Amino acid sequence: MREIDLKILTEKIKDACIKANTKLPDDLEELISVYGKCEECETAKSVMQCLEDNIAVSKKTGLPICQDTGMAVIFAEIGQEVAFVNGNFEDAVNEGVRQGYTEGLLRKSVVGDPLRRVNTTDNTPAVIHLRIVPGDKVNVTVAPKGFGSENMSKLRMFTPSATRETIIDYVVDVVKQAGSNPCPPMVVGVGIGGDFEMSAITAKKALCRNVSEHNPDPFYAEMESEMLEKINALGIGPQGFGGKTTALAVAIETYPTHIAGLPVAVNIGCHVTRHSSFTI
């Protein structure tokens, strides 16, 4: 067994919270620039340039890319040959979030009870998704999720009779209904399969994929391309002012499902679909 001191995990979670909120992944930043150059509408082109300028200022100053610094979502793959020492895993993660949001001067947006609405003052607890995998390493992705986009996400329990075209139309309609609310251009994560909650987790995890990559299955890669084309034909455009760029990417991830079901979740990310990963 390989022992890992949880103090190391806390420190890395702290750093990842700050990094994710102040520097976009390179692939997403590059795509924003590429789409900006393709815009023909002057308003849309201007908005895309403003987004690029904002990203540059954030990198230079260390200030957040967006004022909504999100609820911390943690995806962790833990090697089965790992033994954690000096604490409790969830406590270590939440301590890292607390330190990151405090030291990074990030907005603390989490309330301790969904109806009483009292702020926890440190952006904890995080939402933690764990998998046990072979090996002696720990792979973690910290994905702060703002709720302008999160509130526009949807899940539908289709029956197995739903066709490929039905699912494409559903995803496009979710984006159409969202309009300008999620601060487009968006990244659209789609989770197909599993059960009710697994489809939603899969859709959220899809948002952490490199936006320049397609699903490795050509069948789903083609669906991603068709969805993206139809979404951008909606004309919502950057920040809802019209234009060709309503979405930057569509990422589909799948999971096996029951013979009687076909869950489909759509998790929308804004133009600052943030995530930062590390390995211990």
Mean pLDDT of the chain: 97
pLDDT at position 242: 96
Tokens of 10: 């806390």
**pLDDT score, position 200:** 98
Phi then psi for residue 130, to 5 deg, are -115, 145
Look at the block and give the residue holding tokens 């300008």. Answer: 180
Which listed CATH number (2.60.40, 3.30.360, 1.10.357, 2.115.10) goes with 2-22+65-145?
3.30.360
Parse the chain into domains and list their residue ranges.
2-22+65-145, 147-274
pLDDT of residue 188: 98
End-to-end CA distance of the chain: 14
pLDDT recorded at residue 181: 97
pTM of the full structure? 0.96
- Which tokens is 278 given? 């590390």
Distance, in Å, from the CA atom of 9 to the CA atom of 12, rounded to the nearest integer, reads 5
Distance CA 105, CA 103 (A): 5
User: What is the per-residue pLDDT for 241?
Assistant: 96
Low-confidence ranges of the chain (pLDDT < 70): none
Run of H or E including 193: strand 186-194
pLDDT at 26: 95
